[in-house]
Structure 1
Amino acid sequence: MFKLKLSVLLLLGVFFFTTNGVAQQLKLSTTNSSVTVSGTSSLHDWDVVSESFSGTIKINDFTQAEIESLFVNVPAESLKSGKGAMDNKIYDALKTKKNKSITFKMTEVVSSSKVSDSEIEVKVKGDLQIAGTTKNVPLTIKFTQSGSTVKAEGSYTMKMTGFNVEPPTAMFGTITTGDEITIKFNVSFI
């Protein structure tokens, strides 16, 4: 009887020490997730949306706002406006024949804070690659945990020319696109 109790205690101890403190890696889910790029033009404001992307996040301890790694990949030609001609102009500007993806890879956590037991805010820096140009950019992300799902929400405003992207034009240059765009994301990791 003593040996059985000791065995159970040892087994519980091994289970506790192997599961507590181990980083949790989650995959990006396209369900209830979106990445939107918004901009302006001389004619009207515009949005393109991607619902096709992949990525991972590695969390050491959510309650302590400890994010170890974050990577997101958006196929450039998954960005859709619903207008074929506009999409083609965007793909040309992004040089999608040579540069198939837009990626973000976190390089460091600058600061993190616990908002509540289920919500943290993390300021990170990471390598953003667009149209073959990579820049290290700051990003503030709000993470919310619900069960085994972690939602990430945030945005980043940038100039296309900063990534060597020529803002698209149409109608022989009479319609011009503004240089500034905002990338917004609301994605789930499971």
Structure 2
Amino acid sequence: MKMRVISLIAAVLFIWNWQVKAQESFHLVADKSSAEIDGTSTLHDWNMKTTDLKCTAVMGMDGTVVNSIESVTFSCPAESLKSGESSIMDKKAYKAIKSDKYPEIRFTSDNVENLKSSGNEFSGELVGKLQLVGVTKTVKIPFKGKVTDASHAVVDGSFKLKMSEYGIEQVTAMFGAIKTGDDLTIKYNFELGK
């Protein structure tokens, strides 16, 4: 009986130790990653982009196969978003998102839904909290990715949100003749490495 208990404890410790070792922490490769916001206005569509990003993903791995995603955090300075068109419009955007008071945009995952792995490719939806303009809301972020080797992965996706959900006022120009739409599309393309 005593031998069985010892064997059971040894098996549990072995499995626990294997699971701990199988979890891998990946960090963003900054110069190869970006996030963008696409929006509309009464005049033309617009885009803002940043490469000043931080992201950490802890994944359960078996070689190049993703078995689980334990946690994902993402952040960027609000004022790192640039339109590449007009510094005046950038300043209007920063005012709308109150970057002086809330200088960081942040996402923290709570769980993963519909995780699917096929070989070295994986997909699913991250569910978590997006903090923007001092408002935190639960969002669902679809993703698809590929483990390129044991120490690198690429992940991309896009999702939509409304500025009004976060209390962001629509940006106007030319005395209100130009006004941004409420709908935004957030796109991201990340390279992750150990």
> Normalising by structure 2, what TM-score?
0.85
Count of aligned residue pairs for this structure pair: 174
1:81 maps to amino acid: S
Structure 2 CA distance, aligned partners of 1:130 and 1:18? 38
Q: What is the match of residue 131 of structure 1?
A: 133
2:48 maps to amino acid: V
Structure 1 CA distance, aligned partners of 2:66 and 2:50? 31
Structure 2 CA distance, aligned partners of 1:163 and 1:19? 39
Deviation at 1:20, TM superposition (A): 7.6
Q: What is the match of residue 161 of structure 1?
A: 164
Q: What is the match of residue 185 of structure 1?
A: 188
Structure 2 CA distance, aligned partners of 1:129 and 1:72? 10
**Aligned Cα root-mean-square deviation (Å):** 1.7
Deviation at 1:28, TM superposition (A): 1.1
Q: What is the match of residue 105 of structure 2?
A: 102
SS of residue paired to 1:81 = coil
Match of 1:78 among 63, 73, 80: 80
Structure 1 CA distance, aligned partners of 2:126 and 2:177? 39
Structure 2 CA distance, aligned partners of 1:168 and 1:38? 14
Structure 2 CA distance, aligned partners of 1:43 and 1:185? 25
SS of residue paired to 2:181 = coil
SS of residue paired to 2:116 = strand
Deviation at 1:186, TM superposition (A): 0.5
Q: What is the match of residue 35 of structure 1?
A: 35
1:180 maps to amino acid: D
- Alpha carbons 1:65, 1:122 under 8 Å: kept: no
The reply on whether 1:151 has 2:154 as its aligned counterpart is: yes
1:57-109 Cα distance to aligned partner (Å, 9 max, x none): 00112624310000000110000012101100110011001101111111011
Deviation at 1:21, TM superposition (A): 3.9
Identity %: 35
